[in-house]
Amino acid sequence: MASRNNSKIAEQTTEERIKEAARKVFQKKGFAATRTRDIAEEAGINLALLNYYFRSKEKLFEIIMLETLFGFMQNLAFIMNDDKSTLQTKVELIASGYIDFIIRNPNVPLFMLSEMRANSGGLLKKLPIKQLVSNSAFLKQHRKAVEEGKIAEPHPLHFLMNLLGLIVFPFIGKPMLQGISGVSDNQFKKIDDAKEEVYPGLD
Amino acid sequence: MASRNNSKIAEQTTEERIKEAARKVFQKKGFAATRTRDIAEEAGINLALLNYYFRSKEKLFEIIMLETLFGFMQNLAFIMNDDKSTLQTKVELIASGYIDFIIRNPNVPLFMLSEMRANSGGLLKKLPIKQLVSNSAFLKQHRKAVEEGKIAEPHPLHFLMNLLGLIVFPFIGKPMLQGISGVSDNQFKKIDDAKEEVYPGLD
DNA sequence: GTCTATAGGGGGATAGAC
DNA sequence: GTCTATCCCCCTATAGAC
Protein backbone atom coordinates (compact mmCIF):
# COMPACT_ATOMS: atom_id res chain seq x y z
CA MET A 1 0.00 0.00 0.00
CA ALA A 2 2.60 2.51 1.10
CA SER A 3 4.72 1.93 -1.97
CA ARG A 4 2.03 2.00 -4.66
CA ASN A 5 3.26 3.52 -7.86
CA ASN A 6 0.62 5.70 -9.46
CA SER A 7 2.58 7.40 -12.22
CA LYS A 8 0.81 7.21 -15.56
CA ILE A 9 3.99 6.72 -17.53
CA ALA A 10 4.78 3.13 -16.70
CA GLU A 11 8.00 3.76 -14.80
CA GLN A 12 7.78 0.39 -13.15
CA THR A 13 9.54 -0.08 -9.88
CA THR A 14 12.00 -2.94 -9.76
CA GLU A 15 9.78 -4.83 -7.40
CA GLU A 16 6.94 -4.65 -9.92
CA ARG A 17 9.18 -5.78 -12.75
CA ILE A 18 10.19 -8.83 -10.77
CA LYS A 19 6.63 -9.65 -9.83
CA GLU A 20 5.50 -9.31 -13.41
CA ALA A 21 8.26 -11.61 -14.58
CA ALA A 22 7.48 -14.08 -11.81
CA ARG A 23 3.81 -14.07 -12.72
CA LYS A 24 4.66 -14.83 -16.31
CA VAL A 25 7.10 -17.65 -15.64
CA PHE A 26 5.26 -19.24 -12.71
CA GLN A 27 1.96 -19.27 -14.57
CA LYS A 28 3.55 -20.81 -17.61
CA LYS A 29 5.75 -23.48 -16.02
CA GLY A 30 4.41 -23.96 -12.52
CA PHE A 31 6.31 -23.68 -9.27
CA ALA A 32 8.50 -26.75 -9.45
CA ALA A 33 9.66 -26.28 -13.04
CA THR A 34 10.45 -22.60 -12.59
CA ARG A 35 14.01 -21.53 -11.82
CA THR A 36 14.54 -18.26 -10.03
CA ARG A 37 17.18 -17.59 -12.64
CA ASP A 38 14.49 -17.61 -15.33
CA ILE A 39 12.49 -15.02 -13.44
CA ALA A 40 15.50 -12.81 -12.92
CA GLU A 41 16.42 -12.95 -16.58
CA GLU A 42 12.84 -12.26 -17.64
CA ALA A 43 12.83 -9.23 -15.33
CA GLY A 44 16.17 -8.06 -16.63
CA ILE A 45 17.78 -8.07 -13.21
CA ASN A 46 20.15 -10.24 -11.24
CA LEU A 47 19.30 -13.33 -9.29
CA ALA A 48 20.55 -11.83 -6.03
CA LEU A 49 18.16 -8.93 -6.37
CA LEU A 50 15.20 -11.24 -6.47
CA ASN A 51 16.10 -12.62 -3.09
CA TYR A 52 16.80 -9.12 -1.82
CA TYR A 53 13.19 -8.18 -2.55
CA PHE A 54 11.33 -11.39 -1.86
CA ARG A 55 13.55 -13.41 0.42
CA SER A 56 12.83 -16.78 -1.25
CA LYS A 57 11.24 -18.51 -4.20
CA GLU A 58 8.41 -19.76 -1.98
CA LYS A 59 7.58 -16.31 -0.68
CA LEU A 60 7.51 -14.85 -4.16
CA PHE A 61 5.35 -17.68 -5.37
CA GLU A 62 2.85 -17.26 -2.60
CA ILE A 63 2.45 -13.60 -3.44
CA ILE A 64 1.86 -14.35 -7.12
CA MET A 65 -0.53 -17.14 -6.29
CA LEU A 66 -2.63 -15.05 -3.94
CA GLU A 67 -2.83 -12.16 -6.38
CA THR A 68 -3.79 -14.52 -9.18
CA LEU A 69 -6.51 -16.15 -7.12
CA PHE A 70 -7.82 -12.83 -5.96
CA GLY A 71 -7.91 -11.40 -9.48
CA PHE A 72 -9.75 -14.43 -10.73
CA MET A 73 -12.36 -14.38 -8.02
CA GLN A 74 -13.12 -10.76 -7.40
CA ASN A 75 -14.66 -10.56 -10.84
CA LEU A 76 -16.93 -13.44 -9.93
CA ALA A 77 -17.88 -11.97 -6.57
CA PHE A 78 -18.66 -8.59 -8.09
CA ILE A 79 -21.04 -10.00 -10.65
CA MET A 80 -22.73 -12.34 -8.22
CA ASN A 81 -23.55 -9.61 -5.75
CA ASP A 82 -25.30 -7.30 -8.18
CA ASP A 83 -28.95 -6.99 -7.07
CA LYS A 84 -29.96 -5.28 -10.28
CA SER A 85 -29.00 -7.84 -12.89
CA THR A 86 -31.02 -10.97 -13.62
CA LEU A 87 -29.63 -14.46 -13.23
CA GLN A 88 -29.52 -14.78 -16.99
CA THR A 89 -27.46 -11.62 -17.22
CA LYS A 90 -25.13 -12.80 -14.48
CA VAL A 91 -24.44 -16.00 -16.32
CA GLU A 92 -23.69 -14.10 -19.51
CA LEU A 93 -21.44 -11.67 -17.70
CA ILE A 94 -19.54 -14.41 -15.94
CA ALA A 95 -19.08 -16.27 -19.19
CA SER A 96 -17.99 -13.32 -21.31
CA GLY A 97 -15.88 -11.88 -18.50
CA TYR A 98 -13.96 -15.04 -17.93
CA ILE A 99 -13.55 -15.82 -21.58
CA ASP A 100 -11.97 -12.41 -22.05
CA PHE A 101 -9.87 -12.91 -18.95
CA ILE A 102 -8.60 -16.29 -20.06
CA ILE A 103 -7.77 -15.02 -23.53
CA ARG A 104 -5.63 -12.35 -21.91
CA ASN A 105 -4.20 -14.82 -19.38
CA PRO A 106 -4.26 -18.19 -21.08
CA ASN A 107 -2.11 -19.94 -18.52
CA VAL A 108 -4.00 -18.90 -15.43
CA PRO A 109 -6.68 -21.59 -15.21
CA LEU A 110 -4.38 -24.57 -15.43
CA PHE A 111 -1.84 -22.79 -13.25
CA MET A 112 -4.36 -22.29 -10.48
CA LEU A 113 -5.82 -25.76 -10.72
CA SER A 114 -2.44 -27.45 -10.73
CA GLU A 115 -0.83 -25.47 -7.98
CA MET A 116 -3.83 -25.58 -5.71
CA ARG A 117 -3.65 -29.33 -5.61
CA ALA A 118 0.05 -29.23 -4.84
CA ASN A 119 -0.66 -26.75 -2.08
CA SER A 120 -3.82 -28.55 -0.94
CA GLY A 121 -5.70 -25.31 -1.41
CA GLY A 122 -4.49 -23.88 1.86
CA LEU A 123 -3.94 -20.47 0.40
CA LEU A 124 -7.63 -20.00 -0.23
CA LYS A 125 -8.15 -19.51 3.46
CA LYS A 126 -6.21 -16.29 3.23
CA LEU A 127 -8.73 -14.82 0.83
CA PRO A 128 -11.95 -13.20 2.01
CA ILE A 129 -13.99 -14.77 -0.75
CA LYS A 130 -16.42 -17.05 0.97
CA GLN A 131 -18.33 -14.27 2.67
CA LEU A 132 -18.62 -12.36 -0.58
CA VAL A 133 -20.53 -15.17 -2.21
CA SER A 134 -22.29 -16.71 0.74
CA ASN A 135 -25.38 -14.52 0.69
CA SER A 136 -25.15 -13.01 -2.74
CA ALA A 137 -27.94 -11.99 -5.05
CA PHE A 138 -26.87 -14.90 -7.21
CA LEU A 139 -27.75 -17.41 -4.52
CA LYS A 140 -31.25 -16.04 -4.03
CA GLN A 141 -31.90 -15.86 -7.75
CA HIS A 142 -30.62 -19.37 -8.25
CA ARG A 143 -32.88 -20.71 -5.54
CA LYS A 144 -35.85 -18.96 -7.12
CA ALA A 145 -35.02 -20.30 -10.59
CA VAL A 146 -34.80 -23.83 -9.19
CA GLU A 147 -38.20 -23.48 -7.54
CA GLU A 148 -39.65 -22.33 -10.84
CA GLY A 149 -38.14 -25.30 -12.61
CA LYS A 150 -35.92 -23.23 -14.88
CA ILE A 151 -32.65 -24.77 -13.79
CA ALA A 152 -31.70 -28.41 -13.72
CA GLU A 153 -28.93 -28.19 -11.11
CA PRO A 154 -30.53 -28.01 -7.67
CA HIS A 155 -27.36 -27.02 -5.82
CA PRO A 156 -25.76 -23.67 -6.59
CA LEU A 157 -22.31 -25.21 -6.48
CA HIS A 158 -23.39 -27.80 -8.99
CA PHE A 159 -24.66 -25.01 -11.21
CA LEU A 160 -21.42 -23.06 -10.79
CA MET A 161 -19.32 -26.16 -11.48
CA ASN A 162 -21.07 -26.81 -14.75
CA LEU A 163 -20.86 -23.20 -15.81
CA LEU A 164 -17.17 -22.87 -15.03
CA GLY A 165 -16.45 -26.20 -16.64
CA LEU A 166 -18.10 -25.10 -19.85
CA ILE A 167 -16.12 -21.88 -19.84
CA VAL A 168 -12.73 -23.09 -18.72
CA PHE A 169 -12.40 -26.58 -20.10
CA PRO A 170 -12.13 -25.70 -23.78
CA PHE A 171 -9.05 -23.67 -22.99
CA ILE A 172 -7.23 -26.09 -20.76
CA GLY A 173 -8.29 -29.08 -22.81
CA LYS A 174 -7.29 -27.49 -26.08
CA PRO A 175 -3.99 -29.30 -26.66
CA MET A 176 -5.55 -32.65 -25.84
CA LEU A 177 -8.65 -32.16 -27.91
CA GLN A 178 -6.65 -30.89 -30.81
CA GLY A 179 -4.49 -33.94 -30.50
CA ILE A 180 -7.50 -36.20 -30.63
CA SER A 181 -9.30 -34.45 -33.43
CA GLY A 182 -6.46 -33.02 -35.44
CA VAL A 183 -8.10 -29.65 -36.06
CA SER A 184 -5.93 -26.61 -36.64
CA ASP A 185 -5.59 -23.59 -34.38
CA ASN A 186 -7.78 -21.55 -36.69
CA GLN A 187 -10.53 -24.12 -36.74
CA PHE A 188 -10.37 -24.41 -32.98
CA LYS A 189 -10.75 -20.69 -32.57
CA LYS A 190 -13.84 -20.67 -34.75
CA ILE A 191 -15.38 -23.49 -32.79
CA ASP A 192 -14.70 -21.75 -29.56
CA ASP A 193 -16.06 -18.45 -30.82
CA ALA A 194 -19.30 -20.28 -31.38
CA LYS A 195 -19.63 -20.79 -27.65
CA GLU A 196 -21.59 -17.56 -27.29
CA GLU A 197 -24.64 -18.79 -25.51
CA VAL A 198 -23.11 -20.95 -22.83
CA TYR A 199 -26.29 -21.45 -20.89
CA PRO A 200 -29.27 -21.16 -23.20
CA GLY A 201 -32.84 -21.58 -22.09
CA LEU A 202 -32.73 -19.69 -18.84
CA ASP A 203 -35.41 -17.20 -19.77
CA MET B 1 2.78 -57.24 -25.42
CA ALA B 2 5.55 -59.83 -25.41
CA SER B 3 6.16 -59.41 -21.69
CA ARG B 4 2.58 -59.21 -20.45
CA ASN B 5 2.20 -60.81 -17.10
CA ASN B 6 -0.99 -62.84 -16.96
CA SER B 7 -0.51 -64.72 -13.71
CA LYS B 8 -3.48 -64.38 -11.40
CA ILE B 9 -1.37 -64.19 -8.30
CA ALA B 10 0.15 -60.75 -8.64
CA GLU B 11 3.80 -61.78 -8.81
CA GLN B 12 4.81 -58.45 -10.25
CA THR B 13 8.08 -58.16 -12.04
CA THR B 14 10.44 -55.48 -10.76
CA GLU B 15 9.95 -53.46 -13.90
CA GLU B 16 6.22 -53.42 -13.28
CA ARG B 17 6.68 -52.41 -9.66
CA ILE B 18 8.79 -49.45 -10.71
CA LYS B 19 6.34 -48.41 -13.37
CA GLU B 20 3.45 -48.62 -10.97
CA ALA B 21 5.30 -46.49 -8.45
CA ALA B 22 6.29 -44.02 -11.15
CA ARG B 23 2.71 -43.78 -12.33
CA LYS B 24 1.56 -43.01 -8.83
CA VAL B 25 4.15 -40.36 -8.03
CA PHE B 26 4.26 -38.69 -11.44
CA GLN B 27 0.50 -38.41 -11.62
CA LYS B 28 0.32 -36.93 -8.18
CA LYS B 29 3.17 -34.44 -8.30
CA GLY B 30 3.95 -33.93 -11.96
CA PHE B 31 7.26 -34.40 -13.71
CA ALA B 32 9.22 -31.47 -12.31
CA ALA B 33 8.26 -31.96 -8.68
CA THR B 34 8.91 -35.69 -8.72
CA ARG B 35 12.23 -37.03 -7.49
CA THR B 36 13.43 -40.36 -8.74
CA ARG B 37 14.20 -41.17 -5.11
CA ASP B 38 10.48 -40.95 -4.33
CA ILE B 39 9.69 -43.41 -7.06
CA ALA B 40 12.38 -45.82 -5.93
CA GLU B 41 11.18 -45.69 -2.36
CA GLU B 42 7.56 -46.14 -3.41
CA ALA B 43 8.60 -49.18 -5.43
CA GLY B 44 10.65 -50.56 -2.56
CA ILE B 45 13.83 -50.70 -4.60
CA ASN B 46 17.03 -48.75 -4.92
CA LEU B 47 17.52 -45.63 -6.97
CA ALA B 48 20.21 -47.22 -9.11
CA LEU B 49 17.83 -49.95 -10.17
CA LEU B 50 15.43 -47.45 -11.60
CA ASN B 51 18.10 -46.21 -13.97
CA TYR B 52 19.12 -49.75 -14.75
CA TYR B 53 15.62 -50.44 -16.07
CA PHE B 54 14.64 -47.12 -17.54
CA ARG B 55 17.86 -45.29 -18.27
CA SER B 56 16.60 -41.86 -17.15
CA LYS B 57 13.80 -39.96 -15.48
CA GLU B 58 12.66 -38.55 -18.83
CA LYS B 59 12.43 -41.96 -20.46
CA LEU B 60 10.43 -43.36 -17.57
CA PHE B 61 8.16 -40.37 -17.62
CA GLU B 62 7.46 -40.65 -21.32
CA ILE B 63 6.45 -44.27 -20.91
CA ILE B 64 4.07 -43.42 -18.08
CA MET B 65 2.66 -40.49 -19.98
CA LEU B 66 2.00 -42.47 -23.15
CA GLU B 67 0.35 -45.30 -21.25
CA THR B 68 -1.81 -42.86 -19.32
CA LEU B 69 -2.91 -41.08 -22.48
CA PHE B 70 -3.62 -44.32 -24.23
CA GLY B 71 -5.63 -45.71 -21.33
CA PHE B 72 -7.67 -42.56 -21.16
CA MET B 73 -8.46 -42.48 -24.84
CA GLN B 74 -8.99 -46.05 -25.85
CA ASN B 75 -12.10 -46.13 -23.74
CA LEU B 76 -13.39 -43.14 -25.65
CA ALA B 77 -12.52 -44.59 -29.02
CA PHE B 78 -14.15 -47.89 -28.21
CA ILE B 79 -17.45 -46.31 -27.26
CA MET B 80 -17.48 -43.90 -30.17
CA ASN B 81 -17.00 -46.63 -32.74
CA ASP B 82 -19.90 -48.80 -31.66
CA ASP B 83 -22.40 -48.90 -34.52
CA LYS B 84 -25.06 -50.51 -32.36
CA SER B 85 -25.48 -47.96 -29.60
CA THR B 86 -27.41 -44.72 -29.99
CA LEU B 87 -25.84 -41.31 -29.51
CA GLN B 88 -27.70 -40.96 -26.26
CA THR B 89 -26.26 -44.22 -25.05
CA LYS B 90 -22.78 -43.21 -26.12
CA VAL B 91 -22.99 -40.03 -24.12
CA GLU B 92 -24.15 -41.93 -21.08
CA LEU B 93 -21.42 -44.51 -21.47
CA ILE B 94 -18.73 -41.91 -21.88
CA ALA B 95 -19.96 -40.04 -18.85
CA SER B 96 -20.32 -43.01 -16.55
CA GLY B 97 -17.15 -44.63 -17.83
CA TYR B 98 -15.02 -41.58 -17.24
CA ILE B 99 -16.56 -40.78 -13.91
CA ASP B 100 -15.67 -44.28 -12.76
CA PHE B 101 -12.23 -43.93 -14.26
CA ILE B 102 -11.54 -40.63 -12.56
CA ILE B 103 -12.75 -41.90 -9.22
CA ARG B 104 -10.25 -44.72 -9.54
CA ASN B 105 -7.54 -42.38 -10.89
CA PRO B 106 -8.28 -38.99 -9.41
CA ASN B 107 -4.99 -37.41 -10.40
CA VAL B 108 -5.03 -38.37 -14.04
CA PRO B 109 -7.02 -35.53 -15.61
CA LEU B 110 -4.99 -32.71 -14.13
CA PHE B 111 -1.80 -34.67 -14.67
CA MET B 112 -2.50 -35.05 -18.36
CA LEU B 113 -3.65 -31.51 -18.86
CA SER B 114 -0.67 -30.03 -17.03
CA GLU B 115 2.02 -32.16 -18.54
CA MET B 116 0.68 -31.90 -22.07
CA ARG B 117 1.14 -28.17 -21.97
CA ALA B 118 4.69 -28.52 -20.66
CA ASN B 119 5.39 -30.98 -23.42
CA SER B 120 3.45 -29.00 -26.04
CA GLY B 121 1.39 -32.10 -26.68
CA GLY B 122 4.04 -33.64 -28.88
CA LEU B 123 3.51 -37.05 -27.40
CA LEU B 124 0.03 -37.28 -28.82
CA LYS B 125 1.50 -37.78 -32.25
CA LYS B 126 2.83 -41.10 -31.10
CA LEU B 127 -0.66 -42.39 -30.44
CA PRO B 128 -2.86 -43.84 -33.16
CA ILE B 129 -5.98 -42.13 -31.88
CA LYS B 130 -6.99 -39.74 -34.59
CA GLN B 131 -7.87 -42.42 -37.08
CA LEU B 132 -9.97 -44.27 -34.53
CA VAL B 133 -12.26 -41.33 -34.07
CA SER B 134 -12.13 -39.74 -37.47
CA ASN B 135 -14.88 -41.75 -39.11
CA SER B 136 -16.57 -43.19 -36.10
CA ALA B 137 -20.21 -43.99 -35.61
CA PHE B 138 -20.28 -41.14 -33.15
CA LEU B 139 -19.46 -38.60 -35.86
CA LYS B 140 -22.26 -39.76 -38.13
CA GLN B 141 -24.77 -39.85 -35.33
CA HIS B 142 -23.74 -36.44 -34.17
CA ARG B 143 -24.18 -35.00 -37.65
CA LYS B 144 -27.60 -36.52 -37.90
CA ALA B 145 -28.67 -35.18 -34.52
CA VAL B 146 -27.52 -31.71 -35.51
CA GLU B 147 -29.54 -31.86 -38.70
CA GLU B 148 -32.59 -32.89 -36.70
CA GLY B 149 -32.05 -29.97 -34.33
CA LYS B 150 -31.53 -32.16 -31.31
CA ILE B 151 -28.08 -30.85 -30.44
CA ALA B 152 -27.03 -27.26 -29.94
CA GLU B 153 -23.33 -27.67 -30.68
CA PRO B 154 -22.85 -27.83 -34.47
CA HIS B 155 -19.25 -29.03 -34.36
CA PRO B 156 -18.51 -32.46 -32.94
CA LEU B 157 -15.44 -31.14 -31.17
CA HIS B 158 -17.53 -28.45 -29.57
CA PHE B 159 -19.94 -31.11 -28.40
CA LEU B 160 -17.11 -33.25 -27.08
CA MET B 161 -15.51 -30.30 -25.32
CA ASN B 162 -18.68 -29.48 -23.45
CA LEU B 163 -19.28 -33.07 -22.51
CA LEU B 164 -15.75 -33.65 -21.23
CA GLY B 165 -15.80 -30.33 -19.42
CA LEU B 166 -18.96 -31.29 -17.58
CA ILE B 167 -17.46 -34.61 -16.60
CA VAL B 168 -13.93 -33.63 -15.73
CA PHE B 169 -14.17 -30.15 -14.32
CA PRO B 170 -15.95 -30.98 -11.08
CA PHE B 171 -13.03 -33.20 -10.15
CA ILE B 172 -10.17 -30.94 -11.05
CA GLY B 173 -11.95 -27.84 -9.84
CA LYS B 174 -12.95 -29.42 -6.56
CA PRO B 175 -10.35 -27.77 -4.30
CA MET B 176 -11.04 -24.36 -5.77
CA LEU B 177 -14.79 -24.64 -5.67
CA GLN B 178 -14.71 -25.95 -2.14
CA GLY B 179 -12.53 -23.00 -1.23
CA ILE B 180 -15.04 -20.59 -2.68
CA SER B 181 -18.12 -22.19 -1.29
CA GLY B 182 -16.85 -23.75 1.89
CA VAL B 183 -18.76 -27.00 1.52
CA SER B 184 -17.41 -30.15 3.11
CA ASP B 185 -16.10 -33.20 1.33
CA ASN B 186 -19.30 -35.08 2.09
CA GLN B 187 -21.52 -32.36 0.72
CA PHE B 188 -19.37 -32.14 -2.37
CA LYS B 189 -19.69 -35.84 -2.99
CA LYS B 190 -23.45 -35.66 -2.74
CA ILE B 191 -23.57 -32.79 -5.20
CA ASP B 192 -21.41 -34.62 -7.61
CA ASP B 193 -23.38 -37.83 -7.30
CA ALA B 194 -26.33 -35.83 -8.52
CA LYS B 195 -24.64 -35.35 -11.85
CA GLU B 196 -26.25 -38.47 -13.24
CA GLU B 197 -27.83 -37.14 -16.36
CA VAL B 198 -25.01 -35.11 -17.80
CA TYR B 199 -26.64 -34.44 -21.10
CA PRO B 200 -30.41 -34.55 -20.72
CA GLY B 201 -32.85 -33.94 -23.52
CA LEU B 202 -31.14 -35.84 -26.28
CA ASP B 203 -33.99 -38.19 -27.02
C1' DG C 1 19.63 -57.95 -10.97
C1' DT C 2 20.42 -55.45 -6.98
C1' DC C 3 22.99 -52.97 -3.98
C1' DT C 4 26.45 -48.96 -1.89
C1' DA C 5 29.07 -45.18 -2.83
C1' DT C 6 30.07 -41.31 -5.38
C1' DA C 7 30.63 -38.38 -9.26
C1' DG C 8 28.73 -34.40 -11.46
C1' DG C 9 25.79 -30.57 -12.18
C1' DG C 10 22.08 -27.47 -11.25
C1' DG C 11 19.71 -24.32 -8.65
C1' DG C 12 18.44 -21.50 -4.39
C1' DA C 13 20.36 -18.54 -1.36
C1' DT C 14 24.03 -15.43 0.61
C1' DA C 15 28.47 -12.63 1.26
C1' DG C 16 30.39 -8.70 0.23
C1' DA C 17 32.03 -5.06 -3.06
C1' DC C 18 30.32 -0.99 -5.30
C1' DG D 1 19.78 -1.07 -4.66
C1' DT D 2 22.36 -3.70 -7.61
C1' DC D 3 25.94 -6.45 -8.94
C1' DT D 4 29.64 -10.67 -9.07
C1' DA D 5 31.25 -14.56 -7.05
C1' DT D 6 30.46 -18.39 -4.38
C1' DC D 7 28.55 -21.65 -1.13
C1' DC D 8 26.12 -25.76 -0.46
C1' DC D 9 22.52 -28.79 -0.75
C1' DC D 10 19.90 -31.82 -3.41
C1' DC D 11 19.06 -34.70 -7.14
C1' DT D 12 20.17 -37.43 -11.28
C1' DA D 13 23.04 -40.66 -13.12
C1' DT D 14 26.89 -43.95 -13.07
C1' DA D 15 30.78 -46.91 -11.38
C1' DG D 16 31.70 -50.96 -9.44
C1' DA D 17 31.17 -54.70 -5.85
C1' DC D 18 28.29 -58.66 -4.90
Q: Which pLDDT tens digit goes with each residue over A62-120?
A: 999 999 999 988 888 889 999 999 999 999 999 999 999 999 999 999 999 999 998 87
The residue among A133 and B76 whose pLDDT is bigger is B76
Specify the pLDDT at position B177. Answer: 85
* CB proximity B146 to A under 8 Å: no
What residues of chain B, 63 to 82, have a C-beta less than 8 Å from chain A? 73, 76
* A49 CB contact with strand D at below 7 Å: yes
Specify the pLDDT at position A201. Answer: 56
Specify the pLDDT at position A198. Answer: 59
* B58 CB contact with strand D at below 7 Å: yes
Angstrom distance, B195 CA to D4 C1'? 60
Q: Do B118 and A29 touch (CB under 8 A)?
A: yes
Q: Do B30 and A32 touch (CB under 8 A)?
A: yes
Q: Tell me the three state secondary structure of residue A61.
A: helix
Q: State the count of interchain CB pairs (< 8 A) between A and B.
A: 161
Alpha-carbon dihedral sign for residues B80, B81, B82, B86? positive
Specify the pLDDT at position B6. Answer: 46
Determine which of A44-53, A80-89, B26-35, B179-188 has the lowest per-residue pLDDT on average.
B179-188
- Residues from chain B contacting residue A189 (CB–CB below 8 Å): none
pLDDT band at B2 (very low <50, low <70, confident <90, very high): very low
Determine which of A159-163, B151-155, B198-202 has the lowest per-residue pLDDT on average.
B198-202
Q: Which pLDDT tens digit goes with each residue over B77-92?
A: 889 999 999 999 999 9
Asked if residue A5 has pLDDT above 60, the reply is no
Give the highest mean pLDDT range of A112-121, B103-112, B176-185.
Answer: B103-112
Angstrom distance, A64 CA to D3 C1'? 25
If you average pLDDT over residues A3-8, what whole number do you get? 46
Burial group, residue A1, by CB count within 10 angstroms (0-12, 13-18, 19+): exposed
Rounded to an integer, what distance in angstroms lies between the CA atom of residue B53 and that of residue A194? Answer: 49
If you average pLDDT over residues B94-100, what whole number do you get? 94
The residue among A121 and A56 whose pLDDT is bigger is A56
Specify the pLDDT at position A107. Answer: 97
Specify the pLDDT at position A194. Answer: 73
If you average pLDDT over residues B193-197, what whole number do you get? 68
Angstrom distance, A184 CA to D9 C1'? 46
C-alpha count within 13 angstroms, C-beta hemisphere, residue A80 = 22
The residue among B64 and B182 whose pLDDT is bigger is B64
If you average pLDDT over residues B156-166, what whole number do you get? 92
Specify the pLDDT at position B121. Answer: 75
* CB proximity B131 to A under 8 Å: no
Three-class SS string for chain B? CCCCCCCCCCCCCHHHHHHHHHHHHHHHHHHHHCCHHHHHHHHCCCHHHHHHHHCCHHHHHHHHHHHHHHHHHHHHHHHHCCCCCCHHHHHHHHHHHHHHHHHHCCCHHHHHHHHHHHCCCHHHHHCCCHHHHHCCHHHHHHHHHHHCCCCCCCCHHHHHHHHHHHHHHHHHCHHHHHHHHCCCHHHHHHHHHCCCCCCCCCC
Q: What percent of chain B has pLDDT over 90?
A: 63
Specify the pLDDT at position B4. Answer: 45
Chosen from A120, A161, A186, A202 to mutate, greatest number of chain B CBs within 10 A: A161
Contacts of A152 by beta carbon, 8 Å cutoff, 6+ apart: B200
Average pLDDT, chain A: 89
Distance (Å) from the alpha carbon of A135 to chain B's nearest alpha carbon? 11
Q: Which pLDDT tens digit goes with each residue over B109-145?
A: 999 999 999 887 788 888 877 777 778 999 999 999 9
Specify the pLDDT at position B10. Answer: 62
Give the highest mean pLDDT range of A193-197, B64-68, B173-177.
Answer: B64-68
Contacts of A92 by beta carbon, 8 Å cutoff, 6+ apart: A198
Specify the pLDDT at position B3. Answer: 45
Specify the pLDDT at position B5. Answer: 44
Q: Which pLDDT tens digit goes with each residue over A35-47?
A: 999 999 999 999 9
Rounded to an integer, what distance in angstroms lies between the CA atom of residue B116 and that of residue B15? Answer: 25
Partner residue facing A176 (CB), from B116, B130, B181? B116
Q: Do B114 and A114 touch (CB under 8 A)?
A: yes
Q: For B183, which residue in chain A has the nearest alpha carbon?
A: A157
Specify the pLDDT at position B135. Answer: 81
Rounded to an integer, what distance in angstroms lies between the CA atom of residue B28 and that of residue A44? Answer: 34
Nucleotide nearest B52, from its CA to each C1': C1
Alpha-carbon dihedral sign for residues A191, B107, A38, B35? negative
